[in-house]
Amino acid sequence: MKSLEELRAIREKMKRQMDLRGPNEDHIRVVVGMATCGIAAGARPVMAAFLDEVEKRGLKNVTVSQTGCIGVCRLEPIVEVFVPGEEKVTYVKMKPDMVPAIVEQHLVNHNVVTDYTIGAAE
Amino acid sequence: MNHVRCHVMVCAGTGCTSSESPKVLAAFEKEIKAHKLQDEVRIVKTGCFGLCSQGPIVMIFPEGACYSKVTELDVPEIVSEHIVKGRIVTRLLHMEGDEGKSATSLSDTQFYKHQLRIALRNCGVINPESIDEYLGADGYTALERILTEQTPPQEIIDCLKKSGLRGRGGAGFSTGLKWQFTHDAVSEDGVKYVCCNADEGDPGAFMDRSVLEGDPFSVIEAMTIAGYTIGSNQGYIYIRAEYPIAVKRLEIAIGQARKYGLLGKNILGSDFSFDIELRLGAGAFVCGEETALMTSIEGHRGEPRPRPPFPANKGLFGKPTLLNNVETYANITWILNNGWEKFAAIGTEKSKGTKVFALGGKITNTGLVEIPMGTTLRTIVEDIGGGCPNGKKFKAAQTGGPSGGCIPAELIDTPIDYDSLTAIGSMMGSGGLIVMDEDNCMVDIAKFFLEFCVDESCGKCAPCRIGTKRLYDLLCKITDGKGTLEDLDTIEELCYHLKSSALCALGQSAPNPVLSTLRYFRDEYVAHVVEKRCPAGVCRNLLRYEIDPGKCKGCTLCAKNCPVGAITGAVKAPHIIDQNKCIKCGLCQSNCRFDAITKR
């Protein structure tokens, strides 16, 4: 037997999870390079950190997905962020502890974290 | 990590199950584990997407990629390419029609573009075995609102009346009125029942089955609301035992709803109690008729009884009973959540909302479709269904199964709704839509449906028990080439008497296929009777296979293949078929390399 509050909580939680199946043209896409080079450089904990952070903040309009080798293996782990209507931003040499800043500043407040981008690394 | 980034939806409806989707599902589970992705990828078993001919169907989100005809051997590639590397496997994407265009998104396809899914809104979208997913799809919001606000029952009934919803089982009676009658009926001891008719029995129909397999909770929630509205504490779902997946999912769903306190005593803390039990039918067609269905639930032999009294006053166990069809229930919560105005805006003047059809027969996209009322048959057959396969010509469509009638090609622009179908001698029926092409003989089709009714007649009333059999005998006489023109008149007269005197809808509607084929394809009947010829080349006793001596090279291949030894002839000399021995199997024709054998 569930109380009304418990039912509503389940509904909200499931809704957030099932959003993934709806139309997503307007979503911000976070793409993590997960080829051999990316995984070897530590891309998996980075993606896990993104998934955690997105869940923690309950962000509805973000999809996290993976992709193959982007080509600059020496800068892996690489994460690209696509905000609809804006140019893509490439973050390089990512570590899990850099993720909260990107989520907060870039995904939520739309300010690119320039310190971590490919331009800063070069 | 508890955020899932990817959902893999594998269809687990009956169509895809028979094309081995359980193996695909198992392969996905194995591969995902092998890649250690089980925490971030969720595999979801869903109901029918509708594209049964292309099964097994797999959809992967967030990309929304639709893969068709997936085998377990394709799964490692999909996982390592798409799920790990984010590259869609284009070779497996669902392709549509001759253009060879593959669609990454289902909603772009011709098949889905003309559809509007209300009853099927959750089919292929949620996991039918998870009440949590149903809740996530706004499930139980209607019941929650009604119970917390203590909505007056009359308000719910008025909403249904104004929505214009009519029974989806075939007869098309106003659902709101039915609820009103049962609500108003007085029961001496206060007991009333809510029943759901899931005894879908006509050949070629699988709509109710798909709803129950894909979204059982929508029916359970609607029945609970019905219980609240008419003042009943007990519901029964009468479902045929031949639907094992639907039965299993209903059992799971009822169990989960009880666990959550959404069925049972004091639902959501209110003073309203309601529970549902399943009753398995043994697969008799007549038990789809309401009075026979209730007699069967009571534990008696499934036989109809005369009406009135109607079930709303005296139904199950002699108590006022509300009986609706699965698809009708599936519409209820949508209407209560979205408002009657929205529902009434869809469809035609007297037929509102949408209707689910099971497309079958000679059609490219065999499957399940839901269209707004008023959509023309042309849109269904040509645009959604993709036309007849192998470039054959569309000849007719049968709606309503053995109780309905055929719609000939010249009426293909008829809008599909209750009244226009009745006007042309067919009926909406529960929603089976069987497409026939030029190779189908209409007399043979009428005979097929009639034979079904002869088998399924319960035998209680003489018109149906004897009448259908005599009618069948007359049709056999015609397809055997022994019919006379007077027989056609006798058939029409017999149909008239059967329609007017049979006890229940089974007998009353059994002549429909005969009458409608006789109305639109009388020339075919006449060809059978006068010329002793079957224009479509189907009726065996009217066929003749002959060897053209000019073309026959005497290769002896036909003689070697003839199962009854009807073909004789010397090597390198023209052969001859002995018509008395020939069983018209057609093997000689399909084996001949010189095109020397003709069928007449």
Q: Look-up: residue for tokens 């078929």?
A: B577
Cross-chain residue pair A65–B86, CB shorter than 8 Å? yes
- Whether B136 and chain A come into contact, CB under 8 Å, resolves to yes
Set of chain B residues whose Cβ sits within 8 Å of the Cβ of A48: 1, 40
Antiparallel, parallel or unpaired: β B354-361 and B432-437: parallel
- CA distance linking residue B29 with residue A49, whole number of Å: 24
Q: Which residue of chain A comes nearest to B37, CA vs CA?
A: A44
CA B517 distance to own-chain centroid: 21
* Domain shared by B35 and B58, yes or no: yes
A 10 A CB-CB count for B543 gives 16
A 10 A CB-CB count for B277 gives 10
Nearest by CB: B7 against A7, A21, A66? A21
**Is B349 a domain residue?**
no
DSSP three-state, residue A30: strand
* Domain shared by B251 and B186, yes or no: yes
* Domain shared by B522 and B555, yes or no: no
CATH number of the domain to which B67 belongs: 3.40.30.10
- CA distance linking residue A113 with residue A102, whole number of Å: 6
* Domain shared by B429 and B452, yes or no: no
Range of the structural domain that residue B40 is part of = 6-108
Nearest by CB: B40 against A1, A3, A51? A51
Interface with B, mutate which of A17, A26, A29, A55 (most B CBs under 10 A): A17
- Whether A3 and chain B come into contact, CB under 8 Å, resolves to yes
Q: Which residue of chain B comes nearest to A33, CA vs CA?
A: B85
**Is B469 a domain residue?**
yes
- CA distance linking residue B7 with residue B562, whole number of Å: 55
Q: What is the pTM of this model?
A: 0.88
CATH number of the domain to which B489 belongs: 1.20.1440.230
* Domain shared by B234 and B139, yes or no: yes
Interface with B, mutate which of A5, A6, A11 (most B CBs under 10 A): A11
**Is B124 a domain residue?**
no
Beta strands in B241-337 (DSSP E): 275-281, 321-325
Q: Which residue of chain A comes nearest to B42, CA vs CA?
A: A17
Whether residue B459 contacts residue B522, with contact meaning beta carbons closer than 8 Å, is answered with no
Interface with B, mutate which of A66, A67, A69, A82 (most B CBs under 10 A): A66
- Whether A13 and chain B come into contact, CB under 8 Å, resolves to yes
Whether residue B445 contacts residue B436, with contact meaning beta carbons closer than 8 Å, is answered with yes
- Of B410, B437, B464, which residue constitutes the final position of a domain? B437
- Whether A110 and chain B come into contact, CB under 8 Å, resolves to no
Q: What are the phi and psi torsion angles at B19 (to 5°)?
A: -95, 25
**Is B12 a domain residue?**
yes
Interface with B, mutate which of A21, A55, A64, A107 (most B CBs under 10 A): A21
List per-residue pLDDT tens for chain B, 600 residues long.
Answer: 457 888 999 999 989 999 999 999 999 999 999 988 888 899 999 988 888 888 899 999 888 888 999 999 999 999 988 888 878 888 888 876 544 455 556 677 788 888 999 999 999 889 999 999 999 999 999 999 999 999 999 999 999 999 999 999 888 899 999 999 999 999 999 999 999 999 998 888 899 999 999 999 999 999 999 999 999 999 999 999 999 999 999 999 999 999 999 999 999 999 999 999 999 998 899 999 999 999 999 999 999 999 899 999 999 999 999 999 999 999 999 999 999 999 999 999 999 999 999 999 999 988 899 999 999 999 999 999 999 998 899 999 999 888 889 999 999 999 999 999 989 888 888 888 999 999 999 999 999 999 999 999 999 999 999 999 999 999 999 999 999 999 999 999 999 999 999 999 999 999 999 999 999 999 999 999 999 999 998 898 888 898 999 999 999 999 999 999 999 999 999 999 999 999 888 899 989 999 999 887
* Domain shared by B406 and B512, yes or no: no
* Domain shared by B279 and B144, yes or no: yes
- Of B290, B314, B342, which residue constitutes the final position of a domain? B342
* Domain shared by B183 and B278, yes or no: yes
Cross-chain residue pair B62–A31, CB shorter than 8 Å? no
| R_g of chain A, CA atoms, integer Å | 16
Nearest by CB: B3 against A18, A54, A65? A54
Q: Concatenated DSSP letters for B89-129? A: -GGGBPEETTTTEE-SSGGGSHHHHT---STTTTTTTS-TT
* Domain shared by B170 and B314, yes or no: yes
**Is B113 a domain residue?**
no
**Is B410 a domain residue?**
yes
**Is B126 a domain residue?**
no
Cross-chain residue pair B86–A11, CB shorter than 8 Å? no
**Number of domains chain B contains:** 5
CA nearest to A11, candidates B174, B142, B521: B142
Q: At a CB cut-off of 8 Å and minimum separation 6, what does B585 contact? A: B563
Instruction: Measure in Å the smallest separation between the Cα of A76 and chain B Cα atoms.
Output: 15
HSE-CB of B537 using CA atoms within 13 angstroms: 11
Cross-chain residue pair B62–A47, CB shorter than 8 Å? no
Q: Which top CATH class is A4-121?
A: alpha beta
